């Protein structure tokens, strides 16, 4: 059963929230993808979405790359994201605007899920760097605990506001 699960994060369009700094914003959907073998062929079956969170680019993508995620997106889109906001209006990009992150490492997936959900309640880019360092230093037991709390809360309520409430409790208990 080695390699039977691949973890995927889909970054989709989301209406922009107002921040003191300009950042590209996406809705991150965290889900497992199961490799199922049946009748001589192998299929990929998407699992249930485990969490949804508003994330801010490029910090989220940089953290995902640091964890070893493979980024699948249109090349012109990735070049567009790396441009400063003043030059983005002039550059047109074509193709899919969706970004997909994939990995087989479950701890990297849990770290990115915790980072993404907690990042959505922090509005200061300086805090994102400190959160990144903290999430990288978390023990496996704490990672599994908080990721399961986020997943179970999302499955129960199907509501990002409940996840935001729980993310603020994470900040009180773990980080601050």
* pLDDT tens digits for range 138-159: 999 999 999 999 999 999 999 9
pLDDT digits (tens, 9 = 90+) for 42-73: 888 889 999 999 999 889 999 999 999 999 87
Q: Is 60 exceeded by the pLDDT of residue 1?
A: no
| Integer Cα distance of 95 and 76 in angstroms | 8
Percent residues over pLDDT 70 in the chain: 85
Closest CA to 64 of 135, 138, 169, 154: 135
| pLDDT confidence of residue 52 | 96
| pLDDT confidence of residue 91 | 38
Structural domain boundaries enclosing 146: 5-175
| pLDDT confidence of residue 130 | 94
pTM score of the predicted model: 0.85
Residue ranges in 27-139 assigned as alpha helix (H): 59-67, 75-82, 85-88, 106-119, 125-137
Q: What angle do CA 161, 18, 95 make, to 5 degrees?
A: 90
Res. 92 pLDDT band, cuts 50 70 90: very low
Res. 75 pLDDT band, cuts 50 70 90: low
| pLDDT confidence of residue 111 | 98
| pLDDT confidence of residue 74 | 66
Residues paired with 6 in a beta bridge: 33
Tokens of 71: 């980024």
* Cβ 31 vs Cβ 8: under 8 Å: yes
Number of domains in the chain: 1
Radius of gyration of the chain (CA): 17
Q: Is beta strand 24-38 parallel, antiparallel or unpaired with respect to 41-46?
A: antiparallel
Tokens of 1: 């059963």
Residues ≥6 apart with Cβ < 8 Å to 122: 128, 131, 171
Tokens of 101: 């992150």
């Amino acid at each position: 059963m080695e390699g039977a699960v691949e973890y995927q994060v889909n970054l989709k369009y989301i209406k922009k929230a107002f921040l003191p700094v300009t950042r590209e914003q996406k809705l991150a959907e965290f889900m497992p993808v199961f490799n199922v073998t049946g009748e001589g062929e192998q299929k990929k079956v998407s699992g249930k979405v485990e969490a949804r969170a508003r994330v801010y680019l490029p910090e989220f993508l940089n953290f995902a790359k640091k964890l070893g995620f493979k980024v699948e997106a249109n090349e012109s889109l990735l070049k567009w994201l790396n441009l400063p906001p003043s030059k983005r209006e002039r550059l047109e990009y074509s193709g899919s605007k969706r970004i997909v992150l994939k990995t087989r490492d479950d701890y990297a997936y849990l770290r990115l899920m915790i980072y993404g959900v907690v990042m959505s309640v922090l509005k200061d880019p300086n805090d994102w760097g400190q959160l990144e360092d903290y999430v990288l230093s978390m023990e496996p037991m704490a990672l599994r605990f908080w990721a399961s709390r986020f997943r179970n809360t999302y499955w129960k309520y199907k509501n990002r506001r409940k996840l935001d409430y729980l993310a603020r409790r994470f900040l009180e208990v773990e980080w601050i």
